Structure 1
């Protein structure tokens, strides 16, 4: 009887489509999930890239302008553009799962210089991630650097510039460049099913477009808390 039943099942074709669908459903779901995950990863890459470029661009434009003097960059200006980053990156929680470093790479003669020196004059940071995979890969400076127009807060000399080997960014003589580095832990939709833990890394830079006062970064009254790189906040 069992043999006859088995032969009957082999000849049965009424539910063939349903059986084929049941067999293929796990494969289709797995491949579909992979497509969604990789599309989300690509979208995260694009968003991080755009955030880095927007931050560098905005940092190269802001400041207190006057027709009688050069533009002063203030701590409140930096905090304002970081507020823009928070809004722009809210969908991916960048400040929770990543770290942003904004560096002012300058090649401008200061009053205490004998000759012009290219240096990281100051750095400001945003984000909770810490460690060698998240802090600046291309040079650091002190938290007080650039806060006064003195040799003690001159920053860190970077004669070769900032960036990866073969793609170093240098400031033109007499100007500054806003250099942004972002490191972000990608947050997958399906855990580690399709991909291991991945860190997205992007850099961007824009030259300062106005006639900026490069002597220091100002903090006039009412003063604000600078976003220095010893802070790890969202």
Structure 2
């Protein structure tokens, strides 16, 4: 009996020893806290990227709507491909913090009412960026054919957008392929898509579409 008690004495002493308990507990919970922290950082960066994409879309549509405002020639201005090039380039530069040019695409479309049929159609469309995405509203249809997907207006944010008679609506789309902070550990294959639309603020000569080399940034 005495020998058995001698054998149990070290076990009892160990059970009463609290040295290093905090270190052991910390070691046990550290992986959980690290995982939660990394996941929180991932979600925060995803939300920041989504906000940036949304702001770029709004800014691009607004800038496009102002094209021609500085024309003081007295003649209704036309919109050139170089004007649109400036707007697209500005949008990519604005999205530089998320590397929008390499990981996404910006698309600008001119929604107009056909002068003959009165139906809505995309008169011209320009794209820029290394992404391969296409507009969610279809490609430009310079003839205003009845096969257009926006004949009765363009659906945006649950509302139907229509261009006024003789005017145009600048529709901006921004696509962005989100790259996770920790690779594919928490997210994989997320593509952000934001849109904005603003009516052209001044009179424009829209009958002939874009002037200049519109094929440079063709979609």
- Shorter-chain TM-score range: 0.7 to 0.9
Write the mapping of 1:48-59 to structure 2, written as runs, cut at 5 A. Answer: 48-59=53-64
Aligned length: 209
Q: Which has the higher Rg, Structure 1 or Structure 2?
A: 2
Shift of residue 167 of structure 1?
A: 2.6
User: Which residue number in structure 2 is paired with residue 78 of structure 1?
Assistant: 84
SS in 1 for 2:217: coil
Give the whole-Å Cα distance in 2 for the aligned partners of 1:44 and 1:209. Answer: 29
Give the whole-Å Cα distance in 1 for the aligned partners of 2:216 and 2:81. Answer: 6
Give the whole-Å Cα distance in 2 for the aligned partners of 1:136 and 1:200. Answer: 13
User: Which residue number in structure 2 is paired with residue 16 of structure 1?
Assistant: 21
Q: Contact between 1:183 and 1:200, CA under 8 Å: does it hold in 2?
A: yes
Asked if residue 195 in structure 1 is aligned to residue 184 in structure 2, the reply is no
Alignment partner of 2:74 out of 63, 68, 78: 68
RMSD: 2.3
Give the whole-Å Cα distance in 2 for the aligned partners of 1:78 and 1:9. Answer: 77
Say which is worse superposed, 172-181 or 204-213, in terms of deviation.
172-181
User: Which residue number in structure 2 is paired with residue 217 of structure 1?
Assistant: 210
Runs of 4+ in structure 1 over 6 Å off: none
Asked if residue 138 in structure 1 is aligned to residue 137 in structure 2, the reply is yes
Query: Cα–Cα, structure 1 residues 4 and 116, in superposed 2: closer, same or farther, change >3 Å?
Result: same
Q: Unaligned regions of 5+ residues in structure 2, if any?
A: 1-5
Alignment partner of 1:204 out of 196, 208, 215: 196
Give the whole-Å Cα distance in 2 for the aligned partners of 1:207 and 1:54. Answer: 13
Asked if residue 47 in structure 1 is aligned to residue 52 in structure 2, the reply is yes
TM-score with structure 1 setting the length = 0.80
Query: Cα–Cα, structure 1 residues 226 and 172, in superposed 2: closer, same or farther, change >3 Å?
Result: same
Q: Contact between 1:108 and 1:214, CA under 8 Å: does it hold in 2?
A: no
Q: Contact between 2:126 and 2:214, CA under 8 Å: does it hold in 1?
A: no
User: Which residue number in structure 1 is paired with residue 3 of structure 2?
Assistant: none
TM-score with structure 2 setting the length = 0.85
Q: Unaligned regions of 5+ residues in structure 1, if any?
A: 146-153, 230-234
Asked if residue 125 in structure 1 is aligned to residue 127 in structure 2, the reply is yes
Say which is worse superposed, 28-37 or 76-85, in terms of deviation.
76-85
1:90-148 Cα offsets, whole Å, 9 max, x none, are 12121222222211001263xxx3x4342211000012222xxx211212126xx4xxx
